[in-house]
């Protein structure tokens, strides 16, 4: 599988990145041992890059998979993230990841900012300072930012402290807080500035799975960037490995399987109309209807952040 250097960070990763979000409690909520088996298959198949986050609650299955492969394979590159604004919370999040994963350092740690805009670096100056200090201490190798807004990604090109950006993009622009053209320009700007780049939601949270080839070709056309894909079954791992290892990926047909055809639904009898999910959703996919939250499937990228935000667990994956 092709390997790609992430900008000037000195971190080299496989083109295929294992996205850990879907296997966690925000989406599929797999048993730890089963999730670990899926990840182990990807690692043994050649993937060396894992993307996770504090809010995903997937450190346990990742640690199980790392223990299973032991010293038989080189340690994979791990990226995590936290939405903390303050120095102390961000510092705690990094040490939480270190302990949970059994690592001496985390390769990449992001400011987790799905709804972030150009004001992010003022709002989270304390958290960014924590990452800078932890990098000096050798606890992280690179500092990054993840987001759905072209405005945030664009301004990140000029923030010297940021080494890596993780933007949302797909061929229809679904989930972008702005336009697809603005996001492609923002990504190009970061690339020209020497930032490492890898891409999220190229399948729009599974909405474009039946147009897999089209989605991947579009993502690859943007530049030489790794692509993070969520995987919840060995069948999905094998398909992705076949595509990214193929010398002629156009010859691989679009997938016919949908192991987890998920949709998020608000249980009206449980919803208290607090609006937390609306505040959290980065895709403007939630609105009030008859004083209850309602999820618009045509906008949803199925990230599951609304599930975590709901204080009464009124949002369920169906």
Inform me whether the pLDDT recorded for 261 exceeds 60.
no
> Please, what are the domains in the chain?
3-251 (3.20.20.100), 264-317 (3.30.70.20)
List, in order, residues 6 or more apart from 240 with CB less than 8 Å away.
Answer: 16, 42, 229, 231
Per-residue burial over 161-173, b if 16 or more Cβ lie within 10 Å, else e, is bbbbbbbbbbbeb
Please determine, for residue 276, whether its predicted confidence score (pLDDT) is greater than 70.
yes
Report the pLDDT value the prediction gives residue 316, as an integer from 0 to 100. 65
As a whole number of angstroms, the distance between CA 232 and CA 76 comes to: 19
Residues 6+ apart with CB under 8 A from 13: 3, 4, 6, 48, 49, 77, 198, 226
pLDDT (0 to 100) of residue 211 = 87
Which of the four pLDDT bands, split at 50, 70 and 90, describes residue 182? Answer: very high
CA 315 to chain CA mean position, Å: 21
What average pLDDT score do residues 75-88 get?
97
Predicted confidence at residue 85, as pLDDT, reads 96
Average pLDDT, the chain: 92
Sorted by sequence, the CB contacts under 8 Å of residue 229 that are 6+ apart come out as 16, 17, 18, 19, 202, 203, 240
- Determine what percent of the chain is predicted with pLDDT higher than 70: 97
Report whether pLDDT(68) > 70: yes
Highest-confidence segment of 135-139, 214-218, 266-270 = 135-139
Task: Decide if 266 contacts 73 (C-beta within 8 A).
Answer: no
Banded pLDDT at 266 (limits 50, 70, 90): confident
CB atoms within 10 A of CB 177: 20
- Residue 313's pLDDT is what? 61
What is the per-residue pLDDT for 282? 78
Give the span between the Cα atoms of 318 and 260, in whole angstroms: 9
pLDDT tens for 1-48 read 999 999 999 999 999 999 999 899 888 889 999 999 999 999 999 999
Selected residue with higher pLDDT from 20 and 265: 20
Residue 101 has pLDDT above 60, yes or no: yes
- Kindly give, in sequence order, each residue whose CB lies less than 8 Å from that of residue 224, ignoring residues fewer than 6 positions away: 4
pTM: 0.89
């Amino acid at each position: 599988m092709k390997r790609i250097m992430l900008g000037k960070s000195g971190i080299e990763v496989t083109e295929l990145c294992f996205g850990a979000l879907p296997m966690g409690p925000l989406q599929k909520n797999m048993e730890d041992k089963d999730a670990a088996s899926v990840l182990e298959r990807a690692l043994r198949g050649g993937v060396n890059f894992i993307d996770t986050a504090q809010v995903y609650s997937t450190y346990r299955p990742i640690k199980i998979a790392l223990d299973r492969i032991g010293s038989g394979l080189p340690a994979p590159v791990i990226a995590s993230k936290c939405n903390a604004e303050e120095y102390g919370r961000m510092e705690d999040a990094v040490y939480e990841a270190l302990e949970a994963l059994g690592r001496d350092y985390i390769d990449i740690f992001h400011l987790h900012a799905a709804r972030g805009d150009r004001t992010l670096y003022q709002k989270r100056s304390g958290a960014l300072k924590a990452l800078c200090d932890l990098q000096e201490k050798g606890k992280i190798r690179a500092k990054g930012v993840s987001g759905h807004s072209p405005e945030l990604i664009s301004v990140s090109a000029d923030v010297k402290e940021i080494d890596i950006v993780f933007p949302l993009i797909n061929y229809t622009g679904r989930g972008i807080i702005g336009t697809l053209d603005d996001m492609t320009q923002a990504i190009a700007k970061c690339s020209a500035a020497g930032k490492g780049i890898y891409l999220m939601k190229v399948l729009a949270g599974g909405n474009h799975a039946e147009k897999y080839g089209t989605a991947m070709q579009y993502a690859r056309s943007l530049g030489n960037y790794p692509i993070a894909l969520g995987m919840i079954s060995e069948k999905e791992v094998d398909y992705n490995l076949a595509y990214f290892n193929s010398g002629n990926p156009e010859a691989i047909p679009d997938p016919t399987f949908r192991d987890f055809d998920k949709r998020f639904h608000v249980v009206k009898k449980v919803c208290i109309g607090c609006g937390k999910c609306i505040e959290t959703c980065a895709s403007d996919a939630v609105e009030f209807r008859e004083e209850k939250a309602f999820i618009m499937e045509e906008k949803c990228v199925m990230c599951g952040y609304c599930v975590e935000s709901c204080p009464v667990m009124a949002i369920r994956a169906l």
